[in-house]
Amino acid sequence: MNLARVVLGQADIQRALTRISHEILESNKGSSDLIILGIPTRGVALASRIAQQIARIEPGASAPAGALDVTMYRDDLGRTRTRTPAPTEVPDEGIDGKTVVLVDDVLYSGRTIRAAFDALNDLGRARAVRLAVLVDRGHREFPIRADFVGKNLPSSKTERISVRLVETDGEDAVVIEGGDD
């Protein structure tokens, strides 16, 4: 029996992103030299929302948002289903000397973030790199941890955590599916 349960709804996701935005500003001491880069697909929408939230929190502040495609940097291309690469979009001033906040929907093994580090190196030299995720589910294969986490959701490896966003799926929700019967 494949059960699916919603663990975060639209309001929960909004609260998590608001909190993450405040934490990013506090950690960076404002929005100066801050760039928010989302990892496709859902990380890009989350990065955009965080950048908008930062502008609401600190009127006049800006944290440009962009996208960092890591598809061709993955070390598991031959073993997993891959998606079509998406464009990498970085603000015109580049990442050199900036604090880059990588944004992804779910942190699991850490392989996507490891690939993101390689992709970033090809773009320049950031002053610092931080990681924001909506969901941290555990089961790391690399020593990577998020600086900003919306929700820790310990899960079984047999479960699937799906993040659904209005921009890509028509609704905001985090759903856990499957698991042991």
Give tens-digit pLDDT for 61-105.
889 999 999 999 988 766 766 667 888 999 999 999 999 999 999
Q: How far, in Å, CA of 41 to CA of 18, rounded?
A: 20
Highest mean pLDDT among 2-11, 74-83, 108-117: 108-117
Cβ partners under 8 Å of residue 31, min gap 6: 25, 54, 58, 61, 62, 63
Contact status, residue 88 vs residue 67, Cβ threshold 8 Å:
yes
Q: Write out the CATH class of domain 10-154.
A: alpha beta
pLDDT tens by residue, 134-143: 999 999 999 9
- DSSP H/E element including 128: strand 128-136
In order of 13, 103, 104, 142, the CA distances from 150 in angstroms are: 8, 11, 11, 20
What are the pLDDT digits (tens) for 10-19?
A: 999 999 999 9
